[in-house]
Amino acid sequence: MKRTKQVIGQSGAFLDALERASRAAMLDRPVLVIGERGTGKELVAERLHHLSGRWDQPLVTMNCAALPETLIEAELFGHEAGSFTGASKARVGRFEEADGGTLFLDELGTLSMGAQERLLRAVEYGEVTRIGASRPIRVDVRIVAATNEHLPDRVEANTFRADLLDRLSFEVVTLPPLRARRSDIPVLADHFGRRMAAELEREQWDGFTEEAMAAMLEYRWPGNVRELRNVVERAVYRWDRGGAVGEVEFDPFASPYRPATPNRQTVPAAAPEQRELSAPRSAQQQQPPVASEDDGDDVAACDVGPSDFKSRVALFERDLLARSLAEHRFNQRATAEALGLTYDQLRHALRRHDLIGSS
């Protein structure tokens, strides 16, 4: 099934960003697109190209993070035959490929300082020189660049050229993360779900249950729209009961049988003295003195009083809740299900142990 790329959203923050991109599209100036991973930076770059006067010319994409530093300049500017080991024949670079059109540089912040210097000259003078060549080549290219970093901070750290940033930031379009446009989640989920159901040749699409949609609205989506698409498509593909999809899984790696990571921090079956370090002060004050070896065999094992038992049980319960929350990416509904609690029971327990606010 052929998939077409679409820009979907109705939230004010997202529409404002699209409006800014659309207004800048007709101006033959560089544009920076900023956003977290999965927010749709490449889609906005395509929109900038197709709404510009260069729409019928090439749109060339280069992911700056996908190539080793030694090859980036050759990819951008091309090279002559014999200019370095392995260069058996001449090759045009991305600038020449995009001549007359748009060059989209994704992950701009990963460029080395040397590549940044050559890129600045290409943007400033409209000329590129192939590696191994002595004469520059004139090119007519519009630059659209994207990054998930705050480049002014990189300038302050002397890892990004201030003059290049000035040259590329005629307009800056910052895309909001999905957690800032929650009204778009039902729209996007329905779109991805409907498309997946069609791909699976299902006769009808009944959407998601209220519980499944509530879980998606509550989740923070660190991977943004790309992660949402994967979660929705996986849920639709796995659901074979008919009717509305009632289960979504945010972590596809979740399994009681997953292999342990060697350097992963695990919480040991803590010794009492270790647990006392993280216990509430009131609980520590209730601890009876621990007997030492000098106290004799008759006191080698100290008695655990009622108050001490309660404090340790409470501490164990708090640790269990905190670990389970972290394992389920702080999704409270998923955590409640994993612990065999109702959502209200979990919320009550979290408030009791000061793991969430009282609101």
Q: What is the pTM of this model?
A: 0.69
Q: Does the structure show a pLDDT above 80 at 230?
A: yes
Q: Does the structure show a pLDDT above 90 at 238?
A: yes
Q: For the chain, give the percent of residues with pLDDT over 90.
A: 58
Going by CATH, does the domain composed of 12-81+89-176 fall within 3.40.50.300?
Answer: yes
Q: Does the structure show a pLDDT above 90 at 166?
A: yes
How far apart CA 152 and CA 172 sit, in angstroms, is 12
Averaged pLDDT of the chain: 84
Give per-residue pLDDT as tens, 320-331.
888 888 777 778
Q: How confident is the model at residue 357 (pLDDT cuts 50, 70, 90)?
A: low
Q: Does the structure show a pLDDT above 70 at 349?
A: yes
Give per-residue pLDDT as tens, 129-163.
888 888 999 999 999 999 999 999 999 999 999 99
Which pLDDT belongs to residue 3? 46
Which pLDDT belongs to residue 282? 39
Which tops the pLDDT comparison, 4 or 254?
A: 254
The angle subtended at Cα 322 by Cα 317 and Cα 324, nearest 5°, is 95
CATH 1.10.8.60 maps onto the chain at 179-238
Q: Does the structure show a pLDDT above 60 at 197?
A: yes
Which tops the pLDDT comparison, 300 or 311?
A: 311
- Cβ–Cβ < 8 Å for 8, 184: yes
How far apart CA 111 and CA 214 sit, in angstroms, is 41
Domain 179-238, CATH = 1.10.8.60
CATH 3.40.50.300 maps onto the chain at 12-81+89-176
